[in-house]
Amino acid sequence: MIYNQNDIENLETRFRANLINSLGGFKSIVLIGTKSLQGNENLGLFSSLFHIGANPAYCGFIVRPNEEKQNTLGNILNTGQFTINHVLPDFYKQAHQCSAKYNEGISEFEKTGLTPQYIDLIEAPFVEESNVKFACELAQKTNIELNGTTLIIGKIIKIIAPDSCILTDGFVDLEAACTITCSGLDSYHRTNKIGRLSYAKVDREIKEI
């Protein structure tokens, strides 16, 4: 099937949302934990997390102008902190439920049964059930005026991962950590490793490592 620009613009809204959200391929799916200045905990589901740099360690994600995402955004802007928590098969339904439009002041932790966890001096809550998780401080907020979304860039200031999942070269075995992936707006997937490949050079054949 080929969709041209006119076709895309004329698609039924929900069909287009499913189609366009599928095009990005398999995506990261994480729960972002924040706390309001009043002390209310919030947990939001995001599928747009991406790597920006390793040194300094930066990541970014997009906040859509939906009501339920504005609590996450507001808390980050007010407190400068957030946590990012990988999702496991054991609690993917609870994670999905965190995308519902709860009013400000309602904790998704309470509503879903996920457990807030506080580690050292980080004021935003982690998800205790997550294996791989990290804390960020707000590094930059950029408005994307094309469509009213917001790019949040975080500096990674604390990382938690099971010892057994961190290989000697720093690679985290996300399958061993039970991290899952998602596609489209609502589909969740486990993974099976095909292979790790050596660093690519122009004059050398790559091999499995």
The single-letter code of the amino acid at 76 is I
CB of 75 to a copy of itself, least distance (A): 19
Q: φ, ψ for residue 73 (rounded to 5)?
A: -60, -45
Judged by CB under 8 A, the residue of 81, 99, 117, 131 near a copy of itself is 99
Per-residue contact track with a copy of itself, 135 to 154, x per CB under 8 A? ----xx-x-x-xx-x-x-x-
Judged by CB under 8 A, the residue of 91, 102, 109, 126 near a copy of itself is 102
Confirm if 139 and 147 have CB atoms less than 8 A apart: no
113: left (phi over 0), alpha (psi -120 to 50) or beta: left
In 5-139, alpha helices (H):
5-10, 13-23, 67-79, 92-97, 108-112
Confirm if 183 and 171 have CB atoms less than 8 A apart: no
Judged by CB under 8 A, the residue of 47, 71, 72, 75 near a copy of itself is 47
Alpha-carbon dihedral 71, 73, 79, 82, rounded to 10 degrees: 100
- Name the residue nearer to a copy of itself (CB basis): 37 or 54: 54
Scanning residues 56 to 85, which ones bind a copy of itself (CB under 8 A)? 56-62, 64, 84
Q: Which stretch binds a copy of itself (CB under 8 A): 34-42, 45-53, 73-81?
A: 45-53
- Total residues in contact with a copy of itself, by rule CB under 8 A: 112
Placement of tokens 């990261």 in the chain? 28
Q: Is 97 in the site for a copy of itself (CB under 8 A)?
A: yes
Q: Which residues contact 66 (CB under 8 A, 6 or more apart)?
A: 101
Judged by CB under 8 A, the residue of 96, 128, 138, 176 near a copy of itself is 96
Q: Is 176 in the site for a copy of itself (CB under 8 A)?
A: no
CB of 33 to a copy of itself, least distance (A): 15
Q: Is 4 in the site for a copy of itself (CB under 8 A)?
A: yes
Q: Retrieve residue 156's tokens.
A: 């990674």
- Name the residue nearer to a copy of itself (CB basis): 115 or 198: 198
